[in-house]
Amino acid sequence: MITRDEAMEFVSTNLKNKNLVKHCLASEAVMRALARHFGEHEEEWGLAGLLHDADVEITDASEQGKRVGDMLEEKITPQMRQAMAAHNTATGTAPASRFDFALTSGETITGLIVASALVLPEKKLANLTSESVVKRFGEKRFAAGADRDLIMHCEKIGLSLEQFSEICLNAMKGIAAELGL
């Protein structure tokens, strides 16, 4: 399986937008936390989070998530390929497993969390609470790109929005310096 260093190199080579790289790092942190919570394979889940959008600048929307899996076919597990393809509804690959639903909801909530932090006076994750994230979730025009339906896939993995927000926010707080937040 691909190492984290190799995965980070792949992301850095294929993504020039620094905010996309930060999104991938946030998704990795979230996926690692969810894997720990569920007793799943942390490295596999984390690497899927890191790599899931590594093709976003080099492919069209209907292939995004699937193409990265094709590019890394020999270096990743079939479960990683499935989860990365399933995170993007445009690929036509439906999420089917806890891994798939975790990546779909986990990578989506990162945008809501970042936006919630950026409206704070300090613009820091340290000052953000999961209650604030849940409140912002209810404001449909706030961070409108964060698809609430996809975030609610957290229920398909047995977590309420409140539990899910807490796990994901704490994961992102753990890498706040890398995220610049």
What does the CA dihedral 161, 164, 167, 170 come to, rounded to 10 degrees? -50
Instruction: Write out the chain's pLDDT in tens, 181 residues.
Output: 999 999 999 999 999 999 999 999 999 999 999 999 999 999 999 999 999 999 999 999 999 999 999 999 999 999 999 999 999 999 999 999 999 999 999 999 999 999 999 999 999 999 999 999 999 999 999 999 999 999 999 999 999 999 999 999 999 999 999 999 9
Q: Which domains does the chain have, with CATH numbers?
A: 4-179 (1.10.3210)
- State pTM to two decimals: 0.97
Which of 102, 25, 20 is closest to 55 using CA atoms? 20
Q: Give me the pLDDT at residue 47, please.
A: 98
Q: Give me the pLDDT at residue 77, please.
A: 98
DSSP 98-158: HHHHHHHHHHHHHHHHHHHHHTSTT--GGG--HHHHHHHHT-TTTTTTS-HHHHGGGGGGT
Q: Give me the pLDDT at residue 72, please.
A: 97
Q: Give me the pLDDT at residue 21, please.
A: 98
Q: Give me the pLDDT at residue 82, please.
A: 98
In whole angstroms, give the CA distance from residue 33 to residue 27: 10
